[in-house]
Amino acid sequence: SNANVSNKIAIHMAKLHCGFVIPEYLRQYHNVENPGMWTQLCDWMEQAKSENAEYPYKAPNDEKRASELFDLEFIEKELHQLKSGQKGGIPEQARVAFCHNDLLAANIMRSTTSPSKDEEDEEEEFDVQLIDFEYGGVNYACFDIANHFNEWAGGTTDGKPNYDLFPTIRQKTQFCQAYLAEVARLQQTQNKPLQNHHDETQSAMLQTLMMEVDAFVLANHLYWGLWAVNQAKAEGCDDFDYLLYAHNRFRQFEICQAS
């Protein structure tokens, strides 16, 4: 939650979204006309609800636990409503970029660039690096930001995210301001107008970005909730309680939707 660290992350995310050019030989796998979020959500939904005879839970008791913790028919209905635009307000023209898609704390490496010159000043110069692009691909840029905000809550060690740690409006605003400033700087050096926002004022651009991020927060909860259901089937819950994590992500989806 350190503001300086958060700003650095925003800057590097902007650099990724604006500066990464997909090599020609990979474009058949990363099509800019087909953001990965909906495809992945629908694939994971089908996989999660597949018959247990075809794709069983690894532990016999997990099927019963899953039925007690969440209702996949309800989740599927919510997903269809989100995709159709009935709920969530995800804009059709949301900006697409190459995204990290999994920017939690463990995938952000901080390094010191120079030690503090003043003994009384404990602040050292540092930078951050985004690592582990296992889930990287073409997606909505605001999904990437929303995912990062959701990851502030943690939960990847015990299955229990603490959403009291979700960034405040002020923290989200500071992050988005740093992100937009870097996007503007990069596109100016590339002699490109700010995509989709060239006729907006700075204040309007910020408001649009934050509204889009808020919309993708919902989809992101379904995304990792369904991922966790399938991980429970593939790996079991002995080392990590994927079913509990799925339950908490689905529950937060409902809370965010109702707010």
| Helix (H/G/I), strand (E/B), else coil: 242 | helix
The pLDDT score that the predictor gives to residue 125 is 87
Closest to 219 (Cα-Cα) out of 68, 71, 36: 36
The pLDDT score that the predictor gives to residue 190 is 77
The DSSP string of 67-96 is HHH--HHHHHHHHHHHHHTSSS---TT--E
- Whole-number Å distance between alpha carbons of 225 and 243: 9
**Per-residue pLDDT reduced to its tens digit, 34-50:** 899 999 999 999 999 98
Q: Which residue has the tokens 């050292």?
A: 124
For residue 161, pLDDT beyond 80:
yes
Distance of CA 243 to the CA centre of its chain: 20
What Cα–Cα distance (Å) separates residue 65 from each residue in 26, 61, 236?
40, 6, 12
Distance of CA 200 to the CA centre of its chain: 25
- Whole-number Å distance between alpha carbons of 57 and 68: 14
User: Which residues face 34 on adjacent strands?
Assistant: none
User: pLDDT-based confidence at 1, cuts 50/70/90?
Assistant: low
**Per-residue pLDDT reduced to its tens digit, 101-152:** 999 999 999 988 766 666 555 667 889 999 999 999 999 999 999 999 999 9
| Structure token pair of residue 208 | 């649009």
**Per-residue pLDDT reduced to its tens digit, 215-242:** 999 999 999 999 999 999 999 999 999 9
Per DSSP, 249 falls in state H
- Whole-number Å distance between alpha carbons of 190 and 200: 19
Give the orientation angle of helix 242-258 with respect to helix 72-84, to 10 degrees.
50
Between these two residues, 88 and 133, which has the higher pLDDT value? Answer: 133
Per DSSP, 105 falls in state G
| Structure token pair of residue 107 | 């995938």
Identify whether the C-beta of residue 50 lies closer than 8 Å to the C-beta of residue 234: no
* Among the ranges given (54-68, 84-98, 161-175), the one the predictor scored with the smallest mean pLDDT: 84-98
Between these two residues, 119 and 168, which has the higher pLDDT value? Answer: 168
| Helix (H/G/I), strand (E/B), else coil: 254 | helix
Identify whether the C-beta of residue 245 lies closer than 8 Å to the C-beta of residue 153: no
Q: Which residue has the tokens 């997909």?
A: 22
The pLDDT score that the predictor gives to residue 196 is 53
Q: Name the amino acid, one letter, at 9.
A: I
